[in-house]
Amino acid sequence: NAGVTQTPKFQVLKTGQSMTLQCAQDMNHNSMYWYRQDPGMGLRLIYYSASEGTTDKGEVPNGYNVSRLNKREFSLRLESAAPSQTSVYFCASSEHLTNTGELFFGEGSRLTVL
Amino acid sequence: QKEVEQNSGPLSVPEGAIASLNCTYSDRGSQSFFWYRQYSGKSPELIMSIYSNGDKEDGRFTAQLNKASQYVSLLIRDSQPSDSATYLCAPARQGGADGLTFGKGTHLIIQP
């Protein structure tokens, strides 16, 4: 059982390049999330999708776009990467989040922007 | 703006002692409270949840909640080196699916 799968796990970009982080979950969860984690800043929500067909901004959405491709997949796109977007990105999914509190995280994608 | 405050540490505790991790939150609408553990280089995992004032025990872990003081804590008894990790606090409102707001986490080190 794979859970939440993120690709790629590591990526190095030059400033101005674009890329898409892919995320897929096999738990039939309705809600999916993208977080970034920086030293000293904790986990911050970028975008989320409460259900298939909807997306909403989180705390730090600037410079990112998302697509909920179907119930399983939720991608994060950087159109023009900046050094400030160097971070570890986590995708997560959940069902009944506020009841269970359980976010299922992927292993993370470590992105470096030069 | 939801704010969740934790002492970043590192908090150093001898093996076998009690580790006490604290968290305060600003959103008075928070009804559910969660503790996540994150090992270095790994993703966070849920270890405790608490919904009512008072204490909730699960093995060596005890979560404590005081909604009036907007304070939640996690106690780890008989601390083991394997408990060395960063602990993240996350309060949540009922009924939403808009993600969890995490504190910055407390880095706990258990000294053998």
Interchain pair B105, A100: CB under 8 A: no
The dihedral built from the CA positions of residue B30, B70, B110 and A110, taken in this order, carries a sign that is: positive
Residues of chain A with C-beta less than 8 angstroms from the C-beta of B44: 43, 90, 103, 105
CA pair distance A94, B96, nearest whole angstrom: 12
Q: Residue A101 pLDDT > 90, yes or no? A: no
pLDDT band with cut points at 50, 70 and 90 for residue A98 = low
Note the pLDDT of residue A77. Answer: 98
Query: What is the per-residue pLDDT across A14-44, written as a single tens digit (0 to 9) for each?
Result: 999 999 999 999 999 999 999 999 988 889 9
Query: What is the per-residue pLDDT across B46-104, written as a single tens digit (0 to 9) for each?
Result: 999 999 999 999 999 999 999 999 999 999 999 999 999 999 999 988 766 778 899 99
CA pair distance B86, B5, nearest whole angstrom: 14
Interchain pair A101, B100: CB under 8 A: yes
